[in-house]
Amino acid sequence: MQKQLENIFRGKKILVTGGTGCIGSEIVRSVLKYKPEVVRIFSNDEDNTFRMMHEIDNSGPKMMHEISDRRFLIGDIRDKERVLLAMEDIDIVYHAAALKHVPLCEYNPFEAIKTNVLGTKNVIEAALASGVNRVINISTDKAVNPVNTMGATKLLAEKLIIDANEGKGVKPTIFSSVRFGNVSFSRGSVIPLFEEQIRQKKPITITNPEMTRFMMLVSDTIELVFKATVLAKGGEVFILKMPVVRLGDLVDVIIEAYAEKYHHKKETIEKRIIGLRPGEKMFEELMTESEAAVGFETDDMLIIPPQLEMPSLSFGISDYPNARHCSLGRYSSRDVKPISKEEIKRLLFS
């Protein structure tokens, strides 16, 4: 795949929306290794943009903003005119900008719609107007059978991305999505929260110790994004097979990892069960029964072709290396045995 990525990225112009966030910034750093002509880093977060601009580049002593193959752009995907300007002459778009925190979206639903739905619409229309080659949308397990506002808006974003492949007419742009589980150590994830609570000698707040979640490393997310970039024909949703973690086990591993660091005895750290937050589920899903019925799988990935009829596109096993028809009835964290505490420790800290 490395050779394919070199062929796709070398000399190309790439835009990453939400490019200073946890996923967006890792996409930027990873893409830069393949010598694109330029990467435009699009964000409405001035503080994170400033911080990222002053990162020391891996290739030497220069900072991010001192090197000619990257551009930092302040803007919001809600602003279509700004997105059009940012996307001018771009080859590949990674669309990572979104409102992602479940309780915040639950209490601010109109804002979630403006960013996650209307913002995605702006990205699609700008990509078509600019003649972009491909757009890879970053989605979430919350979009599957959603029970909260964030998940519902991300499901709508997925549908817009799928439908764009049929509504584009003769334009060449390919639109596809990747679905993530919980990304460990990302901003807003529970691991940094638990660490901070331990540091401040506060009780660790647990919604429910029996809750299960899909867990993936940042490096896994980049692998999935790049595989989708190589394989996408248009309209697919790509999902990485990933381990399931029980929240109570994760808490115990985090306490063991950080108690000594902050000079505490792990036995003295209080756990406080606070119950589910608005919009939360006890388990998460990455693929529904209807998606599984038409899906494909490889050893490490699930591929869901669009269920919308597209006369201009067809999808088969032969389109994806080493693929076979999906053997799962669905892909839910309630059906997968959680990994052990030792496996969690290796996953997070290896």
pLDDT, tens digit, 9 for 90 and up, residues 185-227: 776 678 889 999 999 989 999 999 999 999 998 889 999 999 9
Number of domains in the chain: 1
Count of CA atoms in the C-beta half-sphere (13 A) of 186:
22
Strand partners, 183: 216
The active-site residue out of 13, 100, 142, 241 is: 142
pLDDT of residue 169: 86
pLDDT, tens digit, 9 for 90 and up, residues 245-266: 999 999 999 999 998 888 888 8
Residue 282 in this model has a pLDDT that exceeds 80: yes
* Annotated catalytic residue 154: no
Residue 235 lies in a domain: yes
Domain assignment of residue 160, given as a range: 2-181+217-240+288-327
What does pTM read for this prediction? 0.93
What is the band of 65 on the pLDDT scale with cuts at 50, 70, 90? low
pLDDT, tens digit, 9 for 90 and up, residues 90-142: 999 999 999 999 999 999 999 999 999 999 999 999 999 999 999 999 999 99
Residue 160 in this model has a pLDDT that exceeds 90: yes
What is the band of 311 on the pLDDT scale with cuts at 50, 70, 90? confident
Residue 246 lies in a domain: no
Question: What average pLDDT does the chain have?
Answer: 93
Residue 263 lies in a domain: no
Residue 26 lies in a domain: yes
Residue 339 in this model has a pLDDT that exceeds 60: yes
Residue 258 lies in a domain: no
Q: In what order do the strands lie in the sheet with 244-246?
A: 182-183, 212-216, 244-246
Bigger pLDDT: 309 or 194? 194
Residue 283 lies in a domain: no
Residue 334 lies in a domain: no
Residue 115 lies in a domain: yes
302: CATH: 3.40.50.720
Mean pLDDT of 72-98: 98
